[in-house]
A and B are shown apart, each in its own frame.
Chain A
Amino acid sequence: MESLFVQLLVIGIKILVILGVVLGLGAYLTLVERKVAAHIQRRPGPMVVGWHGLLQPLADGLKLITKEDIFPRAGNRFLYNLALVLALVPAVLVFAVVPFGPEFEVFGVKVKPILTDVNVGLLLVFALGSMAVYAIALAGWASNSKYALIGSMRKAGIIVSYEVVITFAVMGPVILAGTLSTYEIVQQQINQKLWYIWLQPIAFVVYMFAMLAETGRVPFDIQEAEAELVTGFTVEYGGIKFGLFPLVEWYVEVLSLSAIAVVLFLGGWSPINIPFLGFIDPLFFLGPLSPFVWFILKVALLFLFVLWLHWTLPRYRIDQITETAWKVMLPLTFVNLVLTAVLAPIVWR
Chain B
Amino acid sequence: MDYLGFVIFGFVMLGIALLMVFLNYLLGPKAPSALKDYPYECGVPLYDKSAQATFHQGYYLLGLLLLLFDIEAAFLFPWTVVYRYLGVFGFVEMFLFIFILIYGLLYAWRKGALDWQFEEEYID
Contact = CB atoms under 8 A, between A and B. Distances in A.
Q: Do A and B belong to a common assembly?
A: yes
Given A93-B13, A116-B6, A85 B18 contact: yes
Nearest to B16: A88
Interface residues of B, number: 65
A230 B80 CA distance: 43
Contacts of B21: 81, 84-85, 241
B59 A116 contact: no
A334 B101 contact: yes
Q: From DSSP, what is the main secondary structure of chain B's interface residues?
A: helix
Contacts, number: 201
Nearest to A244: B20
Contact of A179 (B6, B40, B81): B81
A163 B9 contact: no
Contacts of B77: 123, 167, 171, 174, 180
B41 interface: yes
A337 interface: yes
A99 to B, nearest CB: 13
Interface of B: 2-6, 8-10, 12-14, 16-18, 20-21, 23-25, 27-31, 36-41, 49-52, 55-56, 58-59, 62-63, 65-66, 69-70, 73, 76-77, 80-84, 91, 94-95, 98, 101-102, 105, 108-109, 114-116, 118
24 contacts: A7-B4, A66-B27, A72-B38, A73-B39, A75-B39, A84-B17, A88-B20, A93-B10, A96-B9, A118-B2, A123-B77, A144-B39, A144-B50, A149-B55, A153-B55, A153-B56, A160-B65, A163-B70, A171-B73, A171-B80, A230-B40, A236-B40, A326-B105, A326-B108
Nearest 4 interchain pairs by C-beta: A319-B116, A239-B24, A69-B24, A160-B66
